[in-house]
Structures are given as C-alpha cells and as structure tokens.
C-alpha cells in the first residue's frame, strides 16, 4: 500500500495557465520526489491596461511518501 501526501502550491507564468502549472511542478520537484499528479484547483490572472499580464494557478500536488 502506498502512502500519498498532498501539498498546495501557487505558481505563475507570463505565458499561460498551462505553463504556470508546469512551473509549479518543476519547482516542487526540487524538494519533493515521486510526484504522481497535479490538480489545478484555481486559476486567476493579473490585468494591466486591459491585457492579461500574468497567469496564476493554485495547484494540489500529490506525491508518494517512502
């Protein structure tokens, strides 16, 4: 039986929400091993002069605990 743990991570990107989610996983992987999945919990964006300037995500990352 595997033991799984979930952490919540906030990340951003100037390109897209998909890129922000990738950034969250890449950053978490620096200190967390055995990442199994990522669930995008929330999405938001910053707007400046009627244009989206930053994409933000709140994700839940699931990983296996050894």
**What residue ranges define each of the domains in the chain, with the CATH number in brackets?**
3-65 (3.30.1660.10)
Q: How many CB atoms lie within 10 A of CB 57?
A: 25
- Token pair of 23 as six digits: 């950034």
Whose tokens are 């400046």? That residue is 48
Q: What is the pLDDT of residue 21?
A: 97
Q: What is the pLDDT of residue 44?
A: 98
Query: What ranges make up the beta strands (E) of the chain?
Result: 3-13, 35-48, 51-65
CB 60 within 8 A of CB 21: no
Q: What is the pLDDT of residue 1?
A: 84
pLDDT under 50: residue ranges of the chain: none
Q: pTM (2 decimals)? A: 0.88
Q: What is the pLDDT of residue 36?
A: 96
């Amino acid at each position: 039986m595997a033991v799984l743990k979930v952490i919540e991570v906030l990340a951003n990107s100037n390109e897209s929400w998909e890129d922000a989610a990738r950034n969250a996983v890449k950053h978490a992987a620096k200190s967390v091993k055995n990442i199994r999945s990522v669930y995008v919990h929330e999405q938001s964006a910053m707007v400046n002069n009627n244009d989206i300037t930053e994409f933000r995500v709140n994700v839940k990352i699931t990983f296996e605990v050894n």
